[in-house]
Structure 1
Amino acid sequence: MSANQQSLVSLIKYHNDIMKTQLEWGTLKNYGTTQKYITMFLDKHLRTSDVFLSQLNYKFLVDFEMFLKAHQPTDHQKPCGQNTAMKHIERFRKMINMAIKYEWLEKDPFQKFKASFKKTSRESLTMVELTRIEEKVFTIPKLQQVKDLFIFSCYTGLAYADVMKLKPSDVILGMDGKAWITTSRKKTDMPVRIPLLGKANEIIKTYKNHPAVLAAESLLPNISNQKLNSYLKEIADLCGVQKNLTFHLARHTFATTITLTNGVPIETVSKLLGHSGIRTTQIYAKVIEKKVSDDMEVLRQKIEGVSLNITQTQTGS
């Protein structure tokens, strides 16, 4: 097949086949999702199943971006936000770069296209907010279960999907003679070994003989992510926490409030979170630096305010 007859679908298939041996499982999964969206875009927007690479241009990319942001999934997934859409665009760009290297494309359709990421902050709970939730006892069993699952994640750093797949056999005796969790991240398939802090261990003991846990042969109660986040909003209201309480906020809280703030080295935190590299973990370290900066600015203003008052008093006397 000549270069100008190469199609987009054949490029995607070729790229993903080549990358099977080079990329992590989680990254391959993400490319699969991008492929799904491109296929849907071709079908719903262009009313076709494929296009020649030579047909790709700036308008194609802009239309694809708009499609990603406007598409309403029929399953439980949320519509693509700005940054999620940009990640799909970036993966698409890497495929196009491969086509250019193979000389299947003469002109780069991305030449004038600029990816626009929205700045986000990794919000987490303060120790005061976390303690407020910990100390709250709920008489409604489901609320108590959701609270316990959330606190468990705050003290282990495990994401929702990883907590839900835990089995009793995942709790082992570590080299230090204490309980550890050994599992792998569902998102990336990266192995994770986490020494259990006391509060997380107590929650495991609480549900050891729970009927639902025994029936499911799981370590903790299983609740859908949608219901869990819905209950967390109720818990936030009842505990007077103003932040948008989601299960993923617990993972951020572990990274910042529980570990980094208490002097755990960033390399160790990276391992505990199951990150493939330290660069991802450094985002949390920047959050800590920002908090330190903000706190010092408040202190600076207080000190300067006191100095100003003293000067004014002395001048007036």
Structure 2
Amino acid sequence: MRSTFKLLFYINRQKIKKNGKCPVMGRITLDGKVSQYSTGEDVQPKFWDANKGRAVIHGQNPETSIELRGLNRKLEELEEKARTAYKKSVDSAGYVSAEIIKNAVTGKAQPKEHLLALFDEHNEEYAKRVGIDRTHHTYIRYLTTRKHLYNFLQYKYGVEDVTLRSIDMQFIENFHFYLSTILKLKTISLNDYLILLCKIVRLAVKRRILSRYPFTGYKLEIPPTLHRHLTGEQLAKVMAIDLPTYRLCHTRDLFVFSTFTGLGRAEMAELSERHIVTAPDGSKWIHINRQKTKVECRIKLLDIPLKIMEKYKGEGENGRLFRVPATCSLSRSLKIIGEMCGLECHLTYYMSRHTYATEICLSNGMPIETISKMMGHSSIRTTQIYAEITNQKVRRDFGKLSEETKGMYSLPDDNMPSRVYQCGRYSGWKKECDQEKNEKVP
């Protein structure tokens, strides 16, 4: 790698201190780009040789000479440190900049060259952005990934950290094996941790700690996605069952509200009076932005959601309509409800949103473009994934197709001989066809 690399020391004559000395500055020039820094030393201008970039020692008294020799020795150490940083950066990363050399000389902003050290630095910065443009949930995922990596390094290599340059394809494959066999995580769960590991490694590439991405060619195993929803019969069971506790009733009502509005748990937790809009015809609508896509949802409130709102009026805090428990609490309650109803499926809160798209909207003839707007999707392709066509709608649509096309089309009677289908394996078919044709002629 060829580059123009120059070092220069000079004094800033514009800043003269009270003792008559000027600060000594360093300048690094690399491929035309300049980076300057303060050496932390100073000297009187009359003792400075601008051509050599050093203090003049010859002809000075012994006390001054000792001081100036110490200054020159410090400058030589800084120069050697800069040249070492230049060579190390070129040899290891294949890339160097004036800013990298400056940081190495001054000892500031040294890049973290170990995996967990960089992970910790990232997590500290991420924590400061939580609530601004990052979510607490994702922050917890980063912390959990860091914990699993630490335990993996202890288990597999017997170390507390590894250098980023030692990471290769085998490393991520070993981590994958550890998550799936030792922790016994399902593919959809362990992929989250692998994705966050890849993000940290890409951060190392971006910061020029690594010259290349070590996981190039690695592909996550994507399991088939099952977008489950409740059928009309299953939904009726959930709505009709007599539940023994307030907690189960409350969870069921929230689930049903989401089933008839398509709101996710995050939007339910934020739903307040300001999101309820009354149209000129007197109907009530929900206008709320989805937290995931920031796209506004516009949903008409049907009779059942309105009754649930009236039932829990005044329950929420800070103007919110509902008191929405944490996801883990909802999951436990829904599991109990699903078992009591005999649904024979794992009932989750997100199934309410999917049921809204399929059973409530699509099965009742609502256009997919309208569903996409009501669910707050940024792309209609997302709606096509969520809104699975139910068997009931397939039968209904093909029933209509059968009625509309009945008698519309017909095939001509071409008097084709019955043995024609054997033409590929029967050599005498043409002779027999000619014989039958002659027999028909009077």
TM-score by length of 2: 0.52
Per the alignment, residue 143 of structure 2 pairs with: 36
Per the alignment, residue 272 of structure 1 pairs with: 374
Could you give the per-residue CA deviations for residues 216-237 of structure 1, whole angstroms, max 9, x where no partner exists? 6431243343333333233334
Cα pair distance change 1:106/1:207, threshold 3 Å: closer
2:219 partner SS: coil
Q: Which range moved further: 171-180 or 199-208?
A: 171-180
Cα pair distance change 1:176/1:80, threshold 3 Å: farther
What amino acid sits opposite 2:231 in the alignment?
Answer: T
Q: How far did 1:181 drift?
A: 1.9
Which structure shows the bigger proportion of residues in strand conformation? Answer: 2
1:131 partner SS: helix
Q: Distance in 2 between matches of 1:225 and 1:231?
A: 10
Q: Residues 190 and 275 of structure 1 are in contact (CA less than 8 Å); yes or no, is this contact kept in structure 2?
A: yes
Cα pair distance change 1:70/1:207, threshold 3 Å: farther
With a CA cutoff of 8 Å and minimum separation of 6, indicate the structure with the bigger relative contact order.
1
Q: Distance in 2 between matches of 1:30 and 1:49?
A: 26
Per the alignment, residue 315 of structure 1 pairs with: none
Cα pair distance change 1:38/1:138, threshold 3 Å: closer
TM-score by length of 1: 0.69
Per the alignment, residue 288 of structure 1 pairs with: 389
Q: Distance in 2 between matches of 1:218 and 1:101?
A: 42
Residue 144 (structure 1) aligned to one of 249, 262, 283: 249
Alignment of 1:1-317 (within 5 A): 2=89, 4=93, 7=113, 8=115, 10=118, 25=133, 32=139, 35-46=142-153, 51-69=162-180, 81-90=186-195, 92-93=197-198, 96=201, 105-106=210-211, 108-111=213-216, 113-138=218-243, 140-174=245-279, 177-209=282-314, 213=315, 217-285=319-387, 287-288=388-389
Q: How far did 1:155 drift?
A: 0.4
Identity fraction in percent? 29
Q: How far did 1:125 drift?
A: 0.6
Q: Which range moved further: 247-256 or 161-170?
A: 161-170
Q: Residues 41 and 67 of structure 1 are in contact (CA less than 8 Å); yes or no, is this contact kept in structure 2?
A: no
Could you give the per-residue CA deviations for residues 208-255 of structure 1, whole angstroms, max 9, x where no partner exists? 25xxx0666431243343333333233334334222222221111112
Q: Which range moved further: 214-223 or 275-284?
A: 214-223
Q: How far did 1:273 drift?
A: 2.4
Q: How far did 1:61 drift?
A: 0.5
Which structure shows the bigger proportion of residues in helix conformation? Answer: 1
Any unmatched runs of 5+ in structure 2?
1-84, 94-110, 126-131, 399-442
Q: Distance in 1 between matches of 2:328 and 2:218?
A: 35
Q: CA RMSD in A?
A: 4.1
Q: How many residues align structurally?
A: 283
Any unmatched runs of 5+ in structure 1?
18-23, 73-78, 298-317
Larger radius of gyration: 2
Q: Which range moved further: 251-260 or 169-178?
A: 169-178
